[in-house]
Amino acid sequence: MENEKKKKFFGRNTDRPDAVAEDTTPTLRYFFKLLWRKLGKLMSLNLMMVVQYVPLIAAVIIYLFGDTMPTVESAMYAPLLGVSIAGGSPTTNLLLGTFSRQLNIPVLTPGRTVAIILLIAFTVLTWGWQNVGATYNLRSLVRGDSCFLFSDYFYAIRRNLKQGFFFGILDILVIFVLAFDFFYFSALADTFIFGVMYILFIVLAFVYTVMRFYIYHMMITFDLSIRKILKNALIFVALGIKRNAVALIGLVAVIGVNVALIVPSLSVGFSLPLILPLFYLPALAGFIAAYAAWPVIQRYMIDAYNESKPEDPDDSSPVEEEDQVTESEKSDTEVTLPPPTVD
């Protein structure tokens, strides 16, 4: 007895209860805990994700900061100048001064045109592949799996080479059409019919944004056609409405904070906040979307698939069953009918 007391006093007492298992329920509180835990990986992943946007930024810089040509802002300048030269009047001179504001517009030389086309083509052709690789890593971070950013990135691209390429073209085309229609109808929103169209395209933009939360996750997880992926993603807009709404609020808040920092800084000539989002925003936005989407996919596709499979007495590991679905077999399934309540 005395020896045991000495052992406990001088030695390390190993008679401790087991650690309590961590609650990994995908709640808002666990989101911030997981975000802090994976912050280093996210910053590293962001360096890979920003490649999507650097060519577009470079194309804009080449277009805006090259040779320029002076021109006038209003088409009224030319006829007013002609009237003023022909004789004019005080009213004509006043209008000429009002409409004579000049602008410097960029001039597209052949070399600049080729450079811009090549940069845009690189983004368009690799858009789907880059999203596939980034989504694979984001899924691993959200699920708590081991994540080797560089090798996993290109592993996912190789496994989804054709589908990632073709859907990437479709994805960037839809984004361009929605953006073009948004700005087009916003300029004409003073009439009723164009105002309705403007609101409609805002709704469509939000719906497609939420669909993109799920599209690339289903592409890397299941063996589905693009038609079924789009169909399931549209269904998930409704099934995961609570998580989708919180994710959209989070994205709007993050972008709003960045805009609130950029606008006042540019007014005083401080340009650092303009490039600062490139160091964290793509990965942070992707992490928010993945954290919202994956539990919904897990519930309605993976868990539903595992419950529908016949039980195998020789295989009782749920992890291996999930790996079979998500990595090896990639089941060709669609979303089942929802239960009465949705998380």
pLDDT band, residue 20 (cuts 50/70/90): low
Whether 93 maps to a domain, the answer reads no
Range of the domain at 48: 35-67+107-307+319-329
Whether 27 maps to a domain, the answer reads no
Whether 1 maps to a domain, the answer reads no
Whether 13 maps to a domain, the answer reads no
**Structure confidence at residue 184 (pLDDT):** 85
Which letter does DSSP use for residue 39 in this model?
H
How far apart CA 293 and CA 305 sit, in angstroms, is 17
Alpha helices (runs of H) in 144-268, residue ranges in sequence order? 149-159, 161-187, 192-221, 226-239, 241-267
Closest by alpha carbon to 212, among 144, 286, 277?
286
Q: How many CB atoms lie within 10 A of CB 216?
A: 30
What's the chain's Rg over C-alpha atoms?
Answer: 28
pLDDT band, residue 62 (cuts 50/70/90): confident
In sequence order, the β-bridge partners of residue 69 are: 105
Q: What is the mean pLDDT of residues 61-90?
A: 70
pLDDT at residue 340 tops 70 = no
What's the pTM? 0.78
Q: How many CB atoms lie within 10 A of CB 263?
A: 11
Whether 5 maps to a domain, the answer reads no
> DSSP for 98-156?
HS--EEEEE---HHHHHHHHHHHHHHHHHHHHHHHHHHHHHHHHHHT----HHHHHHHH
Pairing of strands 68-72, 102-106: antiparallel
Closest by alpha carbon to 26, among 255, 267, 287?
287
How far apart CA 218 and CA 228 sit, in angstroms, is 10
Whether 336 maps to a domain, the answer reads no
Whether 249 maps to a domain, the answer reads yes
Q: Are 62 and 116 in contact (CB under 8 A)?
A: yes
Backbone angles phi, psi at 103, to 5 degrees: -130, 155
Whether 80 maps to a domain, the answer reads no
What would the pLDDT profile of 268-314 be if each residue is shown by its tens digit?
A: 766 777 788 888 999 999 999 999 999 999 999 988 777 776 555 45
Residue that is written with structure tokens 């906040």 in the block: 273
pLDDT band, residue 325 (cuts 50/70/90): very low
Backbone angles phi, psi at 182, to 5 degrees: -60, -50
Q: Which of 30-44, 109-123, 209-223, 319-333 has the lowest mean pLDDT?
A: 319-333
How far apart CA 292 and CA 242 sit, in angstroms, is 9
Backbone angles phi, psi at 234, to 5 degrees: -65, -40
Residues 6+ apart with CB under 8 A from 30: 23, 24
pLDDT band, residue 23 (cuts 50/70/90): confident
The total number of structural domains that make up the chain: 1
